[in-house]
Structure formats: structure tokens, C-alpha cells
Amino acid sequence: MTLTKRFFKYVSFTTTSDENTKMTPSTPGQMVFAKYLVEELKSIGLQNVDLDKNGYVMATLPANIDKPIPTIGFISHMDTSPDMTAKNVKPRIVESYDGNDILLNEEKLIILETEKFPEILQYKGQDIIVTNGTTLLGADDKAGLAEIVTAMEYLIAHPEIKHGDIRVGFTPDEEIGQGADHFDVQKFGAEWAYTMDGGEIGELEYENFNAAGAKVIFKGINVHPGYAYHKMRNSMRVAQEFVGMLPRWETPEHTQDYEGFYHLVGMEGNVEESVLSYIIRDHDRDRFERRKKEMQHLVNKVNAEFGEGVATLELRDQYYNMREKIEPVKHIVDLAFEAMEAVGVKPNVKPIRGGTDGARLSFEGLPCPNIFAGGHNFHGRFEYVPIQSMEKAMMVIVKIVEIMGQR
């Protein structure tokens, strides 16, 4: 199966994750997809293909050389972001992209505009997979999945490329921060791995945000509005006060590179109770800890003004910056760098303004730098991926394996 055909098949599965179900995988579609992948991996010739009760898929491409070579792995996630629907994804190919705006949906007049997304202009002349404007595409991370499986298929078809044992792993629920929750590092058995979960061509990342999730719960008192004088406490108005206390410019739309932020991702409520959901991000661990303390400080400030217990904070760390675990084994980044250059890709080493399964796995003993999968504008209707970028990512996987075998 060609890389593009495989990708189209993968995005036909609805695998949106959902943090509210308290299950693993969090949605049934992910297990349906996992079972499909198991059968595909078996059909192309991988061995030790395994699917556990939590929806984690692992398999082995056995060594074809009689000398000790470290076992390495490649990992991608099966779920797509809950930020937008992934039901009935209808991808299409814009062949030989001409550099103009792309009409995604004529009926709804949804246009991918070059003025808003100028990065697409670097792919002029290439073939670009886009959405129909009503769903996300799912290149995050089904492009990575397709690249890994296609690379394994290529290596099986080219036994002249000598290699050690190669492990592949596919995880559920990465998009809701739970992708590594039940990943069995010992069972995976690799010395190190690469997540194929980066963005545009050339990205190579080994540092990421420290991350936490926060919920601030506000309690109100509801009284008939005609008799509410000095009695009512509207939880939504208290929540509004809290939102205004956080630094206005420390949000995703006002920060870049190594700058951290507070991001309000959800709000719901009525007079009696309101809940604000935040994510907190910073590359620097000290600043990250200060951000969490600032959230608690502001909750205390609300309680001092409106009454003890009016506001409560629920805070949980999600993952940490993998740089401290990767730097002692920096040669694994150098290997990916060398492989990219060997296949004609200019490496772009940069910090991830987000996280991957590899961030948490690195702290569990499996160092995992992140390699580009090729997509842009993840989690929304304007997501796209150039076919040539996917092909290069697949070639990078093959080249990493080949270089390891030569050494």
C-alpha cells in the first residue's frame, strides 16, 4: 500500500479522544483502529504484534544482521484532538499546488488563505492533502503512523538494508495527555525511540514544555434576582474577576519560542457554580513552578475578597521538559540529524511548544526525541500535510535504521 493511500485509510477512522470518559482508551473508535493496525502489521510481516487491553499496539521488525545493535523504536499516537471533530474526514489532494488560496468548501465558503497561513507557500509545486473545511485532517498523528508502517514495509522489502531489532509502538489518548499512562517501557524493550509527531518538514525536537492542567471551581449563591440585594453571589462574575487577574499577554496568542503561558481552554457555569479549565506551560522548570504558585495565589486572593472556600484549585502536572533526559544521550539526536541530512532534509532543531508521548517516556527510561511528521495547522479545519513531507519523514526512519546497521 502506498504511503498516501495508507494515510487516507487511517484518517477514515474516527479516533477523537475524550478526557471526560475516565477510560483507556478514552473512546471506542481508538480500539477499533488499533485492531485494524494489528492486522495490518501482521500482514506486512512484523512479528510479536501485540494489542493490550488499554489499546497499546507494539510490534517488532526482527534483526537481519548477526551482530549486536541496540534495539530502537518508533512511536506515534492513534487519537486525534478533541478540539475539532474527526468524524467523516474527507481529505483531498491539491496536486502541484499553485501558491494561491485553497477553496476547501464551496458551500460554506471555507478558504485556506495564504495571507493567514503563509507557511503553505513553501510547498508550491508539491501535492498537499487538505480537509473539506468541516473537520480536522488527522495528520496529527496519523501521518506519523503511516510513515512508520510504510517504513517498516519498505525495510522488509529491502533486506539488503541491514538492521537490528526495530520496535514500533502506537498509543491512544496522547492528545489528552494520557498517551504514556499505560505504556510498558520494559515490554517495549528499546534502548531509545523516536516519536514521529512533529510538524513541518525538518523539525527535530528534544525539549518541550513543562505542562500542568488546572481547574478553578467557583461557588456561588443563587437568590431570586428581585430579592438578591446583599445575598446573591454570582459564581460566573467571580470567575470573570479571576480571568482578569492573570497576565493579559501571557497567553498562547501573545507568546512564542521559549515563552510560557496560561491558556484558558474551557469555561462553564451558572450562578451556583462555574468552572474554568486552564493549561499551564513553560520550558523553564522554575518559571513553571512559579506559574502554578501564581494560580494558587490568585485563588487565595479571590477567597480573601469573596469569602473562604468560594474558589478552589485542582492542579495536576502532565509532563516535564525531556531535555534533561535527552542531553546525556545526545548521540540519539545527532543520529536523527545525520539521517535527515542524508535524505536531503535540512534539520530544524527547535523546542516543542507542546508535548509528546516521548516527553513522559523519557522520564520513564525511554529517551524519545521527536521527528517531523510533516503536517501544519493541527487540531483544526485548516490542517494540511504535503505528501512529499510525509515521504521524507518515511525516508528519515529508513535512514536512521540503515545508519545504525552500518555502525
Active site residues: 79, 174
Q: In this structure, are residues 176 and 21 in contact, taking their beta carbons and an 8 Å threshold?
A: no
> Considering only CA atoms, which of 347, 350, 366 is closest in space to residue 358?
366
Closest CA to 33 of 119, 139, 145, 108: 145
Distance separating alpha carbons of residues 141 and 89, to the nearest angstrom: 14
Secondary structure string (H, E, C) spanning 252-300: HHHCCCCCCEEEEEEEEECCCEEEEEEEEEECCHHHHHHHHHHHHHHHH
> Quick one: which H or E segment has residue 139?
helix 139-157
**For 342-387, where are the E strands, in sequence order?**
348-349, 370-372, 384-386
Spatial CB neighbours of 48, under 8 Å, sequence gap ≥ 6: 58, 59, 60
Q: How far is CA 391 from CA 14, 202, 243, in A?
A: 24, 12, 44
Strands 192-198 vs 370-372: parallel, antiparallel or unpaired: parallel
| Residue indicated by cell numbers 530502537 | 72
What is the Cα–Cα distance from 125 to 129, expressed in whole angstroms? 13
Count of CA atoms in the C-beta half-sphere (13 A) of 357: 32
Length of the chain: 407
How far apart CA 215 and CA 137 sit, in angstroms, is: 29
Beta-strand pair 203-205/348-349: parallel
Which helix (DSSP H) or strand (DSSP E) does residue 58 occupy? strand 57-61
* Cβ 10 vs Cβ 138: under 8 Å: yes
Cell of 53: 487491553
321 backbone dihedrals φ, ψ, rounded to 5°: -70, 115
